Structure 1
């Protein structure tokens, strides 16, 4: 059973610490920036791979610190992602983040994660998150690809039209819900 509670975080308004500048750190940064191009990320690593540097150079909201992890980097952070190639360092990051009541994700270690970075499908204002509860990131990736393929590019236009229609509705909340349910019913049923 999947007990995860899905949320969409405004990471452009939160401070994220990403520890690790190699392949896994690059993957985590790429995911953050793809989902939220203005994510506020401070990356700490002894060294950064060329692909990490290239990706980070394209984002004004990513700052890099060339240093070994130190607990001081947890200050003023909301989320922490441990993506080093050293399991002991990742565990230390986890433990110190938890002491500060910070949410933490330790790459490839579901038992040490408060959250997962699942598959994300974005079509304009529509965003769909996919989770396999940490069981199969590859399955989440394939489902993401499927949704990207089958959802029309016009989804954003549809959402804008629905929003405009909702703004024209008069009446109480119950009336508005019924009206929106009626007009959107065709999205999920065969006519």
Structure 2
């Protein structure tokens, strides 16, 4: 049976320069989900034309718009690139240019040309869950996101804050603190399941 070998990470997008190449619906969708999760993301969009809704969304989040055809110079100082053009040859060029420069790249709707996928994300305060179907079924990721949004308690962020404050009061080495936190959280889970 196949398995998902992707390694999930959580990026601090306010410290990274992110380029989206394209100005259409897919670019807008990528910008929306990126800024929904990371409203302080540093994003630049490059395209010869931008949909009005893409312009509006970019304005809401302070994303920079550059009206131009893509060229490799736009990759200068970028950490992450998302290619969303409707021209497969341009997307392939972006992928090749990023690979040459060791920049992580996602070519929308083309899993073989992706170093990363933008999966489903559930956020409840301090708690964030990323969902991946290994690029095989975005619809399944969406349904799982909706499920977790419904079942995670709204006060889960408060629990995280309490546990963080409690952790700061613990003495001992790292291993002792981990063991104590494991015991406390196991008791909390047991109490929730008994209710």
Query: TM-score, normalization: structure 2?
Result: 0.95
Count of residues paired in the alignment: 190
2:21 to 19, 25, 29: 19
1:67 counterpart = 2:62: no
- Aligned pairs for 1:14-163 (under 5 A) are 14-60=16-62, 62-163=63-164
1:164 counterpart = 2:160: no
Deviation at 1:188, TM superposition (A): 4.4
Q: What whole-Å deviation, never above 9, does each CA across 1:123-143 have from its counterpart, x for those lacking one?
A: 111110000000001110110
Deviation at 1:51, TM superposition (A): 1.2
Q: Which runs of 5+ in 2 are unaligned?
A: none
Q: Residue in 1 aligned with 2:6? A: 4
Coordinate RMSD, CA, aligned: 1.0
- Alpha-carbon spacing, 1:187–1:133, altered in 2? closer, same or farther (3 Å): farther
Deviates more, 1:23-32 or 1:180-189: 180-189
The structure 1 segments of at least 4 consecutive aligned residues displaced by more than 6 Å after TM superposition are none
Deviation at 1:75, TM superposition (A): 0.3
Output the CA distance in 1 between the equivalents of 2:83 and 2:189. 39
DSSP 3-state at the match of 2:89:
helix
Deviation at 1:186, TM superposition (A): 3.8
Query: TM-score, normalization: structure 1?
Result: 0.97
Q: Which runs of 5+ in 1 are unaligned?
A: none
